[in-house]
Every structure is written in structure tokens, then in C-alpha cells.
Structure 1
Amino acid sequence: MFIHPLSDVQSEKIGYDTRVWQFCVVLPKAKIGNNVNICSHCLIENDVVIGNNVTVKSGVQIWDGITIEDNVFIGPNVTFTNDKTPQSKQYPDEFLKTRVCKGASIGANATILPGIIIGEGAMVGAGAVVTKNVAAGATVYGNPAGQITR
């Protein structure tokens, strides 16, 4: 595994061949699989699971309650959320759960609202705002994200 010296990686649950680049923060309870690439300027909170062979591009924050399965691509500056009604200094007892299933890809600057499931092999277009679940194999884009039909 490679941890850049300018990152703050507190978790010991990081798989082999995983790379964490500069200016990243990984909190102590995060679980990260094998052969994962976490690019610069990322934050990974405690209640996070990241599978094997995942790419997380720069500028992504992965908040409590988010699971990313194997072979997923997360584009630059993708925004995940975990609270539908955020308020300063008021936290829910448990954050909503979001899951990005195997082989899914999320394009740059997409926003994923909390409690969403992005199905296996799905594609989320760049800049999309995902407000509801995405079916396995579907491609969605736009605001709010809608499925491409052909």
C-alpha cells in the first residue's frame, strides 16, 4: 500500500495495493479494499466501506453511511450527501445509507442525495443530480437525473 506523507490516514483497515495521495483524510473506522486509488484532496469518514478496485478521483468527500462496492469509478468532485435536512450542530441518530453497487460509474461533479442506491453497472452522467435510485445498468443524466431511453 502507498500512503502519501502529506495525507492523514488514521484507518488501519486498508487493503494491499491501495494508494492514498496527498491532502487526503481517512478517519479511523473507514474500511478500504484492495487496489483502490484515492486521489488528492479527498475525505473519507468513519462509517464508510469502499470495496476492491475502486477509483476515487480528486475532491470527493465520502460521508458516514456510504458504501461503495467493487470496481466503481467516482469522478472528480462528485458530491455525496447523507442528511436530507442538515442543520448546524444538529445531527441525526443515524445517517441515511447510500450504496453504489458493483461496476457503477459516477461522472464529474454529480451530486448524489442521501439514501440512494446506484445499481450494478449503472452510469451517472457528469453534473447529474441523483434524487432517486438508479436501476442496474441504467444511464442517467440531468437535474434531476433521468434515465436515457433509446
Structure 2
Amino acid sequence: MRRAFVIAGGLLLLALSLQFVFAAVGAFTRPAADGSYVLHTVNGSAVIPALTVLTVLLAALARAPGRLIALAALPLGLVILQMLLAAMAKGLTDDAGGSTTVGLIIGGLHAVNGIVAVHVVLGVTRAARRLELSAASPAAGAEPAAGAANNAGVDRPA
């Protein structure tokens, strides 16, 4: 289960990274149309939440510490915040439908929140990897076999 937790975290990190690519695709699509951001929207509203739920489930099954399970769930809240920020930025336009300063600031916060989500998932993935490695190594405080210590280049007192 711990390996699956690492893989799910990696897939979530990949999906979040692709989210920036999909935003750029939408921004640079010409002529701009309602469907310009479809990849960004689908990935952000379906793929990332599904992978987050999977990551949380696998963290629990891997018997990760409660704090790590909670951290794995945080991207779900950040996705909800992302949707709210995007809706607010779109809604804060002037009478002619043009951007306003407040709308642009909130749009900028949408990008910052995305960066925060990437860093959270990077931390989760690193912690999952450490958890996996700790399961593979001998218990803390256990005396390694003499051959293992010598093979590792460690001098043992006689």
C-alpha cells in the first residue's frame, strides 16, 4: 500500500503540473473561445479531485500518520478555493464586461493558490516516499548485522 501511496502522490503531482500547461493552452488558443480552457477545467474539476481522494485513501491504507493523511486531503480544499477564485475573478468585471483591478488581483490569487497546491502535493509525495523507505529499512535502533555494517563502509568497534 505504501508504494501505491507514493504512485498516487506522483500522479497527483503530475496532474497539478499539467494544470499549468492546460492554462497556458487556454490562454494562447486563438481565436479564444468558450472551449479554450476545457482541458484546464476538466483536469481541475475532475481529475485532480479524484486523484486527491485516491491519495488520501491510499495514505490511510498505508497507515500514514494522521497529519500526513490530513495534508494529503488539503489539495481538495485548495481545488474548491480555486473554483471560487476563478468564479469571483470572472464575476468582477465592469459594466462593459472588461477586467477590473480587483478581478485581476483575484485571478492572480488563483495562480498563487495553484502554486501552493503543487508544493503541498510535493511535500505529500516526499513524505510518502520516506514512509515507504522506512518500511523497507530495519527498525530504528536495531543493530545491523556485522556483514552489513562492514559492507556499508562503517567501522564497528570490537
**TM-score over 0.5 for the alignment?**
no
TM bucket, shorter chain: under 0.3
Q: Quick one: higher RCO (CA 8 Å, sep 6+), 1 or 2? A: 2
Write 1 or 2 for the structure with the bigger share of helix: 2
Write 1 or 2 for the structure with the bigger share of strand: 1
